[in-house]
C-alpha cells in the first residue's frame, strides 16, 4: 500500500534548491535559508520521493492505456497519442477565448472543416460546437423542439422515450418542461410500433431515440418510426452516443432524424473518463438551422467568423464556443482515418462485439439473441440461485485486472451486464476477456462466497456503497 505524501515528510527536505544570486544575498543575507516557515503546512520531501510517490499512485489507477475498458454505452475507446500532440500545439492550446476572429483564422478553419466532415458522416445540414457534453447537446436539441413548436403556435407538451433509452433522455425532456411518455420495446429489442402509433398524438413534440439502441441493436423499423412521428407533425431526435457502430455505414439524416447530438469524446476518441472534458455538438436539418445555439462558424470569401445572429436561436448554453481541445482531437481522428478508416473502425467495433457475444451467450444469459452492433447486453440472472448478483461479477472482474462493464442498465434486462469492446482491442485481448468471464461464471457456481468478498486484490476492498452515498467520510484515519 502506497503511503500518503505527508508520511514521506522530514523537516528541511526539499525537492529542489537553487542558490540565490549575489545581488539577493547582499540585499538580505537572511534569505539564504534552507527552511521557509511559510512551507511548514506542506510536506517536506525530496524530488526522488515525490516522483516515486506519484508514479506509484498512477499505477493504481485503471485507464485505457493500461487495459481493456469493456464499458458498454460509453465507448471508452483508445485515444491515439497524435491527437494529444496536435491539441497541445500553441495555436490551439494557448488561444484566449476572447480572441478576435482575425487572430484565430486557423482554429476557425479547423472547426469549419470538421463541421463539413460531420455533416457528411451524419447526413445533417448544419452543426454548432457550443454544447460541452452529450447531455448538454440533448438539452439544446429539446429546447429547439420547444421553440420550433412555440413559433408555429402549436402547444405540444410531451416527448416519447423508449424504455431502453439512456437515462439522460427522459431527464432532458423533463428539464425542458415536457412530460415524458415511455413506450415499451418489442421482442426484438426495438420500438413497439403499435405503442408508438398510439402514443404519437398532436400533443407530442417528438421522439428521442438511439439507433442502435442501448441493447446494441439496430432498429430495422427506423423508416416506419420516422414516418409515424412526422405524420403527426413531430420531430425525431437522435441520441448519438452509439454512433461508433455506424460511421460510414448508416446516417441519422437518412433515417429521418431532424436533430442529432454527437459525443466527440466517445465516437471520435478522447475517452471521457474522470468526468470530462467533453464535446456534444448538435446537427440539424435545413428547417431547424435558425434555431441552433450560437455561435456557429461561417465563411465569407476567404475569411472565417463566428456568427451570433441566428434569428430564432435558442441562445447560448455556456460561455464561448465549446471545448476546443476535444474538437481538435476529433478533427485529427477524422482526418487521420478518412472515410474508409472510419467505416473500418465501425465494422471492427461490431465484429468484436459479435465475437464476444457468440463466445459468452451460453455462459451467461442473452435476453435478445440476435446480431448486435457495437455492444451487447448479457444477464447474470442465472447465477441468482447461487446467491450471486451482477454486482458480484463486476467486482470480481477487478481481481482479474479488467475494468467492469456497465451494470444494471438498460433496466429492461434483469441483472444486466452491458459490454462494448470497441474496435481497437485485438483477438488475443478479447480471448483473454472470454477466459476471465468464463472463470468467473464457474466461480459463481462453485464458490459464490468468493464473489461476495470480491475484489480481494485491489488497493481498496468492496465498500458499502449505500452507506458511502449517505454518509461520506473523507477523513484520513491511518492505514487503510
Q: How far is CA 44 from CA 54, 457, 477, in A?
A: 15, 31, 21
pLDDT (0 to 100) of residue 34: 47
Per-residue pLDDT band at 77 (split at 50, 70, 90):
confident
Largest pairwise CA distance in the chain: 89
Residue-wise pLDDT for 113-162, tens only, equals: 999 999 999 999 999 999 988 999 999 999 999 999 999 999 999 999 99
At CB < 8 A and 24+ separation, what contacts does 3-7 make? 3/53, 4/476, 5/43, 5/45, 5/50, 5/53, 6/43
Q: Which residues of 99-135 are buried (b: 16+ CB within 10 A; e: fewer)?
A: eeeeebeebbebbeebbebbbebbbbebbbbbbbbbb
Residue-wise pLDDT for 184-216, tens only, equals: 999 999 999 999 999 999 999 999 999 999 999
pLDDT (0 to 100) of residue 412: 94
Does residue 179 contact residue 160 with C-beta atoms inside 8 Å? no
- Give Cα 459 distance to the centre of its chain: 26
pLDDT (0 to 100) of residue 273: 58
Does residue 395 contact residue 342 with C-beta atoms inside 8 Å? no
Question: 3-state class of 81 per DSSP?
Answer: helix
pLDDT (0 to 100) of residue 480: 44
Per-residue pLDDT band at 251 (split at 50, 70, 90):
very high
Burial of 215 (0-12, 13-18, 19+ CB in 10 A): buried
Does the pLDDT at position 76 exceed 90?
no
Does residue 205 contact residue 158 with C-beta atoms inside 8 Å? yes
pLDDT (0 to 100) of residue 24: 59
pLDDT (0 to 100) of residue 44: 87
Determine which of 129-143, 362-376, 461-475 has the lowest per-residue pLDDT on average: 461-475
Q: What is the CATH number of domain 346-470?
A: 3.90.1150.10
Nine-digit cell string for 29: 543575507
Does the pLDDT at position 355 exceed 60?
yes
pLDDT (0 to 100) of residue 72: 85
Per-residue pLDDT band at 276 (split at 50, 70, 90):
low
CA–CA distance, 89 with 197 (Å, rounded to integer): 52
Q: In 61-133, where does DSSP find H-type helix? A: 81-87, 90-93, 105-122
Give span(s): CATH 3.40.640.10, the chain.
81-337
Nine-digit cell string for 68: 481493456
Closest CA to 149 of 178, 191, 180: 178
Nine-digit cell string for 90: 500553441
Q: How many CB atoms lie within 10 A of CB 247?
A: 24
Does the pLDDT at position 356 exceed 90?
yes
pLDDT (0 to 100) of residue 109: 97
pLDDT (0 to 100) of residue 20: 65
User: Looking at domain 81-337, which CATH architecture does it have?
Assistant: 3-Layer(aba) Sandwich (3.40)
Q: What percent of the chain has pLDDT over 70?
A: 92
Mean pLDDT of 358-373: 96
Residue-wise pLDDT for 414-424, tens only, equals: 999 999 999 99
DSSP 8-state assignment for residue 289? G
Mean pLDDT of 332-350: 97
Give span(s): CATH 3.90.1150.10, the chain.
346-470
Mean pLDDT of 326-334: 96
Residue-wise pLDDT for 285-296, tens only, equals: 999 999 999 999
Q: What percent of the chain has pLDDT over 90?
A: 75
Mean pLDDT of 155-171: 94
Amino acid at each position: 500500500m502506497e503511503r500518503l505524501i505527508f508520511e514521506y515528510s522530514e523537516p528541511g527536505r526539499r525537492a529542489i534548491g537553487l542558490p540565490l544570486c549575489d545581488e539577493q544575498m547582499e540585499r538580505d543575507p537572511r534569505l539564504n535559508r534552507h527552511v521557509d516557515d511559510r512551507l511548514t503546512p506542506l510536506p517536506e520531501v525530496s524530488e526522488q520521493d515525490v516522483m516515486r510517490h506519484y508514479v506509484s499512485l498512477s499505477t493504481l489507477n485503471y485507464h485505457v492505456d493500461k487495459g481493456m475498458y469493456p464499458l458498454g454505452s460509453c465507448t471508452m475507446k483508445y485515444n491515439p497519442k497524435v491527437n494529444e500532440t496536435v491539441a497541445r500545439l500553441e495555436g490551439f492550446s494557448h488561444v484566449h477565448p476572447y480572441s478576435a476572429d482575425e487572430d484565430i483564422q486557423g482554429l476557425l478553419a479547423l472547426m469549419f472543416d470538421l463541421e463539413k466532415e460531420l455533416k457528411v458522416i451524419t447526413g445533417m445540414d448544419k452543426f454548432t460546437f457550443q454544447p460541452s457534453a452529450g447531455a448538454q447537446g440533448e438539452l439544446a436539441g429539446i429546447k429547439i423542439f420547444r421553440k420550433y413548436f412555440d413559433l408555429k403556435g402549436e402547444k405540444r407538451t410531451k416527448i416519447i422515450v423508449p424504455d431502453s433509452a439512456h437515462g439522460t433522455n427522459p431527464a432532458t425532456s423533463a428539464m425542458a418542461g415536457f412530460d415524458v411518455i415511455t413506450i415499451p420495446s418489442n421482442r426484438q429489442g426495438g420500438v413497439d410500433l403499435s405503442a408508438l402509433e398510439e402514443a404519437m398524438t398532436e400533443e407530442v413534440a417528438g421522439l428521442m431515440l438511439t439507433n442502435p439502441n442501448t441493447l446494441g441493436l439496430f432498429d430495422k423499423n427506423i423508416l416506419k418510426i420516422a414516418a409515424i412521428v412526422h405524420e403527426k407533425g413531430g420531430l425525431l431526435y437522435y441520441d448519438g452516443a452509439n454512433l461508433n457502430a455506424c460511421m460510414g455505414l448508416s446516417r441519422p439524416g437518412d433515417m429521418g432524424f431532424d436533430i442529432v447530438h454527437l459525443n466527440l469524446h466517445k465516437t471520435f476518441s478522447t475517452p471521457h473518463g474522470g468526468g470530462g472534458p467533453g464535446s456534444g455538438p448538435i446537427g440539424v436539418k435545413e428547417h431547424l438551422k435558425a434555431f441552433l445555439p450560437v455561435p456557429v462558424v461561417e465563411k465569407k470569401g476567404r475569411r472565417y467568423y463566428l456568427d451570433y445572429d441566428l434569428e430564432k436561436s435558442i441562445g447560448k448554453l455556456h460561455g464561448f464556443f465549446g471545448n476546443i481541445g476535444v474538437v481538435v482531437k476529433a478533427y485529427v481522428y477524422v482526418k487521420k482515418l478518412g472515410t474508409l478508416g472510419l467505416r473500418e473502425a465501425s465494422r471492427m467495433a461490431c465484429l468484436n462485439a459479435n465475437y464476444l457475444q457468440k463466445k459468452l451467450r451460453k455462459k451467461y444469459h442473452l435476453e435478445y439473441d440476435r446480431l448486435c452492433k457495437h455492444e451487447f447486453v448479457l444477464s447474470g440472472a442465472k447465477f441468482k440461485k447461487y446467491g450471486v448478483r451482477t454486482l458480484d461479477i463486476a467486482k470480481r472482474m477487478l481481481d482479474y485486472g479488467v475494468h467492469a462493464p456497465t451494470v444494471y442498465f438498460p433496466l429492461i434486462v434483469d441483472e444486466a451486464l452491458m459490454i462494448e469492446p470497441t474496435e481497437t482491442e485485438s483477438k488475443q485481448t478479447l480471448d483473454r476477456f472470454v477466459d476471465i468471464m468464463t472463470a468467473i461464471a464457474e466461480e459463481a457456481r462453485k464458490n459464490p462466497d468468493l464473489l461476495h468478498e470480491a475484489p480481494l486484490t485491489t488497493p481498496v476492498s468492496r465498500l458499502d456503497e449505500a452507506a458511502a452515498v449517505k454518509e461520506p467520510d473523507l477523513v484520513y484515519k491511518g492505514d487503510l
